[in-house]
Structure 1
């Protein structure tokens, strides 16, 4: 895991997984060149796969019909 903060995410059926939050960076053009800007967060699963957070900022899908929720809203 690249991140220090491991978080437990829970699904409706009681399944729990360990995830981390990683920054979502985009490239921005400036007068002096390009630089990387953090625009949000993504969820890093234990398997190494990164998935996007939903618009509510606290839930995400690992696969079809597998919704997991965090205990708090992620502030970007």
Structure 2
């Protein structure tokens, strides 16, 4: 599993956590057979929990009303 380690995410109240990005892969059918493609990213918390990025590609929720923001947009 490919990971991008040590990204710092900040919440509006000043809390900082260290997270990793992991790719979300799907299988695509081609003429040559099945191929794995990356369709997005998820955030891996230090506790091992995977959470989805929001549509803006920069923020995510760890739980209800706990928003965190990365320093840059993830493509």
TM over 0.5: yes
The residue aligned with 2:17 is 17
What is the Cα-based RMSD across aligned positions, in Å?
A: 1.3
Q: Equivalent residues in 2 for 1:17-36 (5 A)?
A: 17-36=17-36
List gaps (5 residues or longer) in structure 1. Answer: none
Partners of 2:3 and 2:23 within 8 A in 1: no
Give the aligned length: 74
Q: How far 1:62 sits from its partner (Å)? A: 0.6
CA contact (8 A) 2:4 2:22 kept: no
List gaps (5 residues or longer) in structure 2. none
Which ranges of 4 or more aligned residues in structure 1 deviate by more than 3 Å? none
TM-score of the superposition, structure 2-length normalised?
A: 0.88
- For normalisation by structure 1, the TM-score amounts to 0.87
